[in-house]
Amino acid sequence: MTTFSETYDLNYYCEVTMADAANIKNIGLRGVTVADTKISDVDGKNGILIYRGYRIEELALRSTFEETAYLLLYDALPTNLQLEDFKQRLADSRSVPAFIFDSFRQLPVNTRPMDLLQASIPLLAVDDPDIESETREANIARAIRLIAQIPALAAGWEQIRKGLDPLPPDNTLSHAGNFLWQLTGVQPDAGTARAFDTALVLHADHSFNASTFACREVVSTRAHMYAGVAAGVGALSGSLHGGANAQVIKMLLELLNEKDIAGWVKKQLDSGHRIMGMGHAVYKTMDPRAHFLKDMCFRLGKKLGQEHWCLLSAAIEESAIAEFERRGKFTIKPNVDFYSAPVYHIMGIPHDLMTPVFAISRIAGWTAHIIEEKFGEAQEKPALYRPSSDYVGHYCGRTGCVYAPIEERPSVKEI
């Protein structure tokens, strides 16, 4: 019988797997560049976000979600004809396969929408007649389908859990307006539809954030786009990422009648809790998207008689920044989720659908990144992601620990 040391070159094995004391570990990969991208860039020091070269402020003011999604996917703003064609392709892709909504009807009404969304994405793969094709065009078609159907899935679930049937799309409306219609059964007014459209533009991409990296990591194995997007939805659901907006609205509800906001903030930080919607892994100043959403909150809030949500958010922001600064932390400012939560609440979006709404927008960025990753569009060669780790577990020397048969191991009592 050959021994372990005969089978493996132990010197090599030790060299590549044992902790190297000189290695500097970077938990969370902060500041580690893992790839090139042409899709978006975040300048955290100066609070600047660009998509394909365009400043987010410019796109938020002048573009639409459809046009921004086109820009992310095709690396150029569309001509009129190209935009009309893109919108038509979105409209043609909106209907969700009946078996998916039938499966929704079997689920408990308290199913968490992000779990439902994550589970639905591979079901869309089942219904993709071209699933074996990995051409660029097949992936673009898949991206358009996902951008069209994720809102339909979220809105369909809202209807089904109320005991109703999903509403058919109204293709005379914008992508944003149609979602609000399919969600609520009420045609949104032009101002609300435009504000929601802007919120979608603001959330559409954000370089190598956790969910986008998850999408890219999965498809780097040559898995299909749906597998990558399902991973992205899972990553987005966490409260340190897209799930933060649902936590922010919980905080606002808790503080609705609170007279001492500063005291609450202090208590929260003293007990080791986070102020949700504040702080960012990259921005060390206010997130440029938060400026827009704050302004949008006050505009919509005033118009719809719900300004108190924005005043409360602003009071928390002020107290939190002051308390962070007292503790020597000068870089923790509101992020995109801090003001998107009150904005979505004012628009009537159910609280547990706020994170799915993030996905409705971010799907544009995820699919653009997946295509860039699959086709090596920003660097020469697509590569399978495979980081290393330091092994800090049991170690019995080069030959390994002695394997004891189960009957010879000490019983729990002896241990």
Ligand X SMILES: CC(C)(COP(=O)(O)OP(=O)(O)OC[C@H]1O[C@@H](n2cnc3c(N)ncnc32)[C@H](O)[C@@H]1OP(=O)(O)O)[C@@H](O)C(=O)NCCC(=O)NCCS
Interface residue list for ligand X (CB under 6 A): 240-241, 244, 269, 274-281, 329, 331-332, 335-337
Instruction: Give me the residue label for tokens 């095709």.
Output: 74
Q: Which residues contact 174 (CB under 8 A, 6 or more apart)?
A: 64, 65, 66, 193, 197
The answer to whether 183 touches 193, Cβ cutoff 8 Å, is: no
Smaller CB separation from ligand X, 87 or 241: 241
d(Cα 296, Cα 292) in Å, to the nearest integer?
6
Which tokens go with 41? 């860039």
Which residue among 197, 205, 287, 337 is the active-site one? 337
* Min dist. Cβ of residue 241 to ligand X (A): 6
Query: Catalytic site residue 273?
Result: no
* Min dist. Cβ of residue 405 to ligand X (A): 46
Smaller CB separation from ligand X, 97 or 234: 234
Smaller CB separation from ligand X, 204 or 332: 332
Query: Catalytic site residue 337?
Result: yes
Which residue among 280, 287, 345, 369 is the active-site one? 280
State the catalytic residues: 280, 337
